[in-house]
Chain A
Amino acid sequence: MPFDASSLSLITVEILTAALGLAVLVLGVIAPGRGRYGLAGVTVLGLIGITGVAISNWGANGSLISGMYLVDNYAAFWKITFLVSAALVVLGSMRYVDNLGSTQKEYYGILTLATLGMMVMASAGDFITLYMGLELMTISFVILVCLPSTNPRPVEAGIKYILLAGMSSAVLLYGLSLIYGLTGEIKIYEVARAVASGDVSPALILGTVLLVAGLGFKISAVPFHMWSPDVYEGAPTPITAFLAVGSKAASFALVIRIFIGALPGIWQHWALVVAILSAVTIIVGNLVAIPQDNIKRLLAYSSIAQAGYIMVGLVTATEAGVKGIMFYVFLYIFATVGAFTVAGYFYNKTGSDKIKDYAGLSQRSPLMAAVMLVSMLSMAGIPPLAGFVGKFYLFSTIVSDYLWLAFVGLIMSMVSVYYYLRVALVMYRDEPNDPSPIKLTSPVAITLIVTLVATLFIGISPGPLSEVINSAAHSFFIQ
């Protein structure tokens, strides 16, 4: 099918995002001195506007370039997710970036381009497109991680990230090429047909193994998670937040496309492996989080554990599972951005990431302490917060067939309460060493309030979001 210009309207959101990214990049260079401080505002407003466009395009359906690029509610929902998280991260990090020095002019542009990469991943209709999206995102992230180039730690984190990401990309590509070689197809839904009708050969299984490893790296599933604590700790905190939400969300969008979109034919081969990896990820993430004394490392391990919970939704390869994943990822944005924004702002004000320095935060800044507490309780799955409903949706898909996994999730959620509440205890019980109140700037305060309200609202009234996600998850299955 030849390229049809009229179908460009389907990718309005992507075009606008690319334009915004490039415009902010250029503005960063040409804007004089203090003018650069407006970049954040432009970016946030731009992202919010694009989110509006994405919402108004809800229901658009079609494909571009003969199926290389798919537009459906499934992809639309993910795009909204990415845009919301990008907007929140930018809003919450305005002050933080000012401290990065001259490098801040690239920050917003690259961040927007990373978002574009995520969108391509969610909409990818074939292996090439998805790989392009993945690399656009990854390389943008590498730049973002080592932006404070005068500081050795972010640079170390960036180098680790690019080398290990390169390794995982190689593994992923090897897996993709094996599957392409066996089926002769490169489009996701063509592959699905070929896999379903053909024999299960060892090479196909090997290809799947390599996909599990390559994508497991992106979602930091154990044992492919080793990079993430180091990178999370070394990267500037807003970037850590964006890595934890955006990169992970996009990778899950991709994982669903590949495993449930392209490989449902050999579901019985990978289901148990995914279940085991999910259990191991939940266990290791939660256990290693316990002894951490640095808030960013604690959140890094907690986010590994969260990825483990989300993987639970893959195991049954059903609509309910996909819905569970999308629901959980969406609410996970708010909890994670909330927690990381508090951590980033706290570091900005006090220069510390140590948990013990959070003593008496409830007196110094009640809002920061409340957001940290609510975010963590939501991640632990305490009702009536959003995380509870999310976990409920995820685990209700597997109770009948994988009861042991539900028990692992339950017990480990209990364990997680231990280290989350340890932070709460420090914030609420201990007396501060320095009782001076921490003043919030208004963008940070807005970010915190948005995350707090969203976490509470989704938990108390999950109905509306759940309906939207039902329609998104449904569109994935009618291809």
Chain B
Amino acid sequence: MLVEFAMHHAWLVPLIPALSFLIIVFLTRPFEKLTAFLSVSFMAISCFFASLAAYGVFNNHELAEHPLVYNFFNWLSIGIPGANELQINLGVQLDPTSAMMLFMVSFVATFIQLYSVGYMKGDPGFSTFFSYVSLFAASMLLLVISSNLLEMFVAWEGVGLCSYLLIGFYSHKISAREAAKKAFVTCRVADFGLLLGILGLVITFGTLDIMELNDKINNFKEYTSYGTLTLLAVLVFIGPIAKSGQFPLHVWLPDAMEGPTPVSALIHAATMVVAGVYLVARMMFLFDAVPAAMNMVAITGGFTALFAALIAITQTEIKRILAYSTVSQLGYMMLALGVGSLTASMFHMWTHAFFKALMFLAAGSVIHAVHTPNVWKMGGIVKKMPVTSWTFVVGGLAISGIPPFAGFWSKDEILVATMNSGHYVLYAMGAFTAFLTAFYMWRLIFLAFYGKEKPENHPHESPWTMCVPLVVLAVGATVGGFFGMPWNNMWAHWIFFGEPHHAGHVAWGAMISSVALAVAGIYLAYRLYLKDTEKVKARQLAEKYQFWYQLSFNKFYIDEIFLWFNHTVVDGSAKLMYLFDIYVVDGIVNGLGGFARLTGDGLRVLQTGSMQNYALVFFLGVLAVTILMAFTGPSAAGLVLGGVM
């Protein structure tokens, strides 16, 4: 009963946080405790609905092939009903993929909001923070259930806006403002590509509905050429490149860590940044129809994974390391999509949400306690903050790919899928990335949580509102992968593109080698950063390979390249454009304006106020219309003669 209701009213899931946003903004903003209670409990109710809907979906295997699609609001119709009408609705598309996302997003959001109650305590913008986070949750959940591209785009922009607001939350800091601007501009530029792609799709196929597009693109030859479809796929993919931090538009994501830590965990690790992956997954039929686009997705993803991991190994700020690790993991997800495994990609998205949110929250807890983001200035925290430290270690085990933690199963699935699809170079890159991941993550853990305590730090464990979410997410990061173990692959049974993967086939070779790589990475980190208490080796290595160290430490100078490009190419052409603007464009505009004004003045003279003149103009008008009609109609000549004679 209730399950049925939740499934057919899935739009309630985004609506509830939207309501809490409105209530907070208009009513409860001055009352911080009430605001926090309201926000968290609304989110929990929304999560309850989401779980019911997800439960319903995962009890009906039919939905895996034929999603439940319905509209809940008729927004706009263009054209004549029945003829060339384009109906734009707000709709819901429920299938295992969106149900999984719906549950994951609302679940993580609930616990991160709970965490924020402790984290944001005493902040002057406490209520504002909760209103933004509620608005974000509403937009993100709408994005997840969207059944058409325009609805998705609106939600896509909504999450972008919230991301902007929350990155710049500490707006008194210049760096936060700059980071917010950078995130917004980078994403806007890419969204323009996405928008063009969506417009192209609606022009070509005459519909925005994802399921209808699916049907039509399956035999796209009736509508368009292969080349056009490739172009459309590339345009659509530009949006996810920025949103999901793929190379080269990943630059905004590490800077986005200027926002409060719960935001980094919720938006810039678990949910919003995977929106790009989700969009590609939703539009998988489009990419699948054009192999070139699939390769582009795979290569972008594989390269991003390796590239970001290479940067992460030398970073010193805890949140930046995690940010580059997020970029790298998003690269994995794209890679999985590019090699055609929706299953592996969504699986990794699911496990990643738990362990990455967990690590961000734990990192926030640490920063909260020691007041520095630099891992070299931490150390030995594990004794004073056991919950934070041990949950972080669970996250570290999960992301490194140590069985039986969640990340192991999903990463393994991606690597196996890459190998099976025949992309051996990408497989090698992915495997090497796994090694790097284990290394940089344990470098962080050994430096920050173990080793000698620093006398200037006085860490203490965080309040329960912050610890409970850590523990819950740690449980998720431990058991979340059991859904997709290769010998009992429930995940592949539900979430797949095309044919479901065959369960039961276990690629022992890939599994063992990836565990070996992970252990090697952890061991290397142990040798360099824990056993060697003075870190002599690490320093020596950095000096010996100074060039490479600097390259990685400075993030391959991507920001500098963009800056240079901006200064020389963009500013240079802007100067030219400026000249063009003031002489040509302004000339035309001012000329037109002047012309319009003069004409207006001229016509105004006719308005004499004298009625005889008005009557005269009226009859001249009648005469003019008569002449016009006589000369323009289809049988004009005959009429003129008839009129004369």
Q: Which residues of A contact B (CB under 8 A)?
A: 160, 163-164, 167-168, 171, 200-202, 205-206, 208-210, 212-213, 216-217, 223-224, 226-227, 229-230, 268-270, 272-273, 276-277, 284, 287-291, 318-320, 389, 392-393, 396, 415, 418, 461-464, 466-467, 470
Provide the residues of chain A in CB contact with B565, threshold 8 Å. Answer: none
Query: What separation, in Å, do the CA atoms of A293 and B611 have in the docked complex?
Result: 22
A202 in contact with B643 (CB, 8 Å): yes
Expressed in whole angstroms, the minimum distance between the Cβ of B608 and any Cβ of chain A is: 9
Interface residue B642 (Cβ < 8 Å from any Cβ of A): yes
Which residue from A167, A200, A290 sits with its C-beta under 8 Å from B618?
A167
Q: How far is the CA of A336 from the CA of B32 in the complex (A)?
A: 43
The 4 A-B residue pairs whose C-beta atoms are closest, nearest first, are A223-B621, A226-B614, A269-B633, A202-B642
Q: How far is the CA of A226 from the CA of B79 in the complex (A)?
A: 35
Assess the B634–A230 pair: CB atoms within 8 A: no
**How many residues on B have C-beta within 8 angstroms of the other chain's C-beta atoms?**
42
Q: Is the Cβ of A163 less than 8 Å from the Cβ of B622?
A: no
A227-B614 contact in complex given A273-B629, A418-B593, C-beta closer than 8 Å: yes
Q: Which residues of chain A are near B538, meaning CB under 8 Å? A: none
- Is there an interface contact between A208 and B629, defined as CB atoms closer than 8 Å? yes
A470 closest partner in B (C-beta): B81
| Structural contact, A213 and B618, CB atoms closer than 8 A | yes
- Quick one: given A273-B632, A290-B596, are A223 and B617 in contact (CB under 8 Å)? yes
Give the distance in Å from the alpha carbon of A277 to the alpha carbon of B607 in the complex.
19
A contact residues around B613 at 8 Å (CB) = 226
B621 close to A463 (CB less than 8 A): no
In the assembled complex, how far is the CB of residue B442 from the closest CB belonging to chain A, in whole angstroms? 51
Q: Are A201 and B642 in contact (CB under 8 A)?
A: yes
| Pick from B81, B593, B629: contact of A269, CB under 8 Å | B629
Task: State in angstroms the CA–CA spacing of A224 and B345 once bound together.
Answer: 67
- Shortest CB-to-CB span from A102 to chain B, Å, is 29
A244 to chain B, nearest CB (A): 17
**B75 near A461 (CB under 8 angstroms)?**
yes
User: With the chains together, A205 CA to B603 CA distance in Å?
Assistant: 30
Q: Which residue of A lies closest to B620 (CB)?
A: A223
Is B607 a contact partner of A226 (Cβ separation < 8 A)?
Answer: yes
Question: What is the bound-complex CA distance between A322 and B603, given in angstroms?
Answer: 31
State A393–B78 Cα separation when bound (angstroms).
7
A-B contact pairs, 30 of them (CB 8 A): A160-B614, A164-B614, A167-B618, A201-B642, A205-B629, A205-B639, A209-B622, A209-B626, A210-B622, A213-B621, A226-B606, A230-B609, A270-B629, A273-B628, A273-B629, A273-B632, A276-B628, A287-B596, A287-B603, A288-B603, A289-B600, A290-B600, A392-B78, A396-B78, A418-B596, A463-B73, A463-B77, A466-B77, A467-B74, A470-B77
Q: Does B421 contact A (CB under 8 A)?
A: no
- If A160-B611, A287-B599, A291-B597 touch, does A467 touch B77 (CB 8 Å cutoff)? yes
Residues of A within 8 A of B607 (CB): 226, 229-230, 288
* B601, CB-defined interface residue at 8 Å: yes
A167 touches B621 (CB 8 A): no
CA A246 – CA B607 in complex, angstroms?
24
**Bound complex: CA A160 to CA B621 (Å):** 18
- New A-B contacts (9) at CB < 8 Å, excluding given A288-B603, A392-B78: A168-B618, A223-B620, A226-B606, A226-B613, A268-B633, A288-B600, A290-B600, A291-B601, A467-B77
Per-residue CB proximity of B197-221 to A under 8 Å, as 1/0?
A: 0000000000000000000000000
Q: Which residues of A contact B629 (CB under 8 A)?
A: 205, 208-209, 269-270, 273
Q: Does B536 contact A (CB under 8 A)?
A: no
Which single residue of chain B is at the shortest CB-CB distance from A474?
A: B81
Q: Please, which residues of chain B bring their CB within 8 A of the CB of A229?
A: 607
Cα A392 to Cα B618 in complex, Å, equals 31
Q: Find the B residue at minimum CB distance from A396.
A: B78
Instruction: Name the B residues within 8 Å of A418 (CB-CB).
Output: 593, 596
Q: Across the interface, name the chain B residue whose C-beta is closest to A412.
A: B596
Q: A268 to B629, alpha carbons, bound, how many Å?
A: 10
